[in-house]
Structure 1
Amino acid sequence: MTNNNNFFLDSKSDDIKDTYLTFSVGTEHYAVNINYVTEIVGMQKISEVPDVPPFIKGVTNLRGNVVAVMDVRLRFGLPWRDYDDRTTIIVLELDGVSTGLVVDRVNEVLDIQADQINLPPHWHSNGDQGVIKGLGKTEEDVYIILDTRRLLNDRRTQLDISQEIAQVAHLEMG
Structure 2
Amino acid sequence: MSEELLEELEDEQDAQKGMFMTFQMGGECYGIAITFVQEIVGIQPITAVPEIEDYIKGLINIRGKIIPVIDVRVRFKQEPFEYTDRTCIIVINVKSTIVGLIVDKIAGVITVNEREIILPPSLSQSGSVSSKYVFGLAKVDDEVKLLLDPERLIQDEDMAALGEVASSTEVSAEA
**Counterpart check, 1:135 vs 2:134:** no
TM-score (ref. length: structure 1): 0.80
Instruction: Name the CA distance, whole Å, in 2 between partners of 1:171 and 1:46.
Output: 17
Q: Which residue of 2 aligns with 1:113?
A: 113
Q: 1:168, CA displacement in angstroms? A: 4.3
Letter in 2 for 1:22: T
Runs of 4+ in 1 over 4 A off after TM superposition: 156-159, 168-172
Preserved contact between residue 56 and residue 157 of structure 1 (Cα < 8 Å):
no
Q: Which residue of 2 aligns with 1:24?
A: 24
Instruction: Name the CA distance, whole Å, in 2 between partners of 1:100 and 1:165.
Output: 12
The structure with higher relative contact order (CA 8 Å, sep 6+) is 1
Percent of aligned positions that are identical: 35
- Runs of 5+ consecutive residues of structure 2 not aligned to the other structure: 1-13
Greater helix share, 1 or 2?
A: 2
Letter in 2 for 1:99: V
Q: 1:122, CA displacement in angstroms? A: 1.6
Instruction: Name the CA distance, whole Å, in 2 between partners of 1:165 and 1:106.
Output: 25
Q: How many residues align?
A: 156
Q: SS in structure 2 opposite 1:107?
A: strand
In structure 2, do the counterparts of structure 1 residues 135 and 159 end up closer, same or farther at CA, with 3 Å as the change threshold? farther
Q: Which residue of 1 aligns with 2:55?
A: 55
In structure 2, do the counterparts of structure 1 residues 74 and 170 end up closer, same or farther at CA, with 3 Å as the change threshold? farther
**CA RMSD in angstroms, aligned pairs only:** 2.6
Which structure has the larger Rg? 2
Instruction: Name the CA distance, whole Å, in 2 between partners of 1:101 and 1:84.
Output: 15
Quick check: 153-162 or 26-35, which moved more?
Answer: 153-162
TM-score (ref. length: structure 2): 0.79
- Runs of 5+ consecutive residues of structure 1 not aligned to the other structure: 1-14
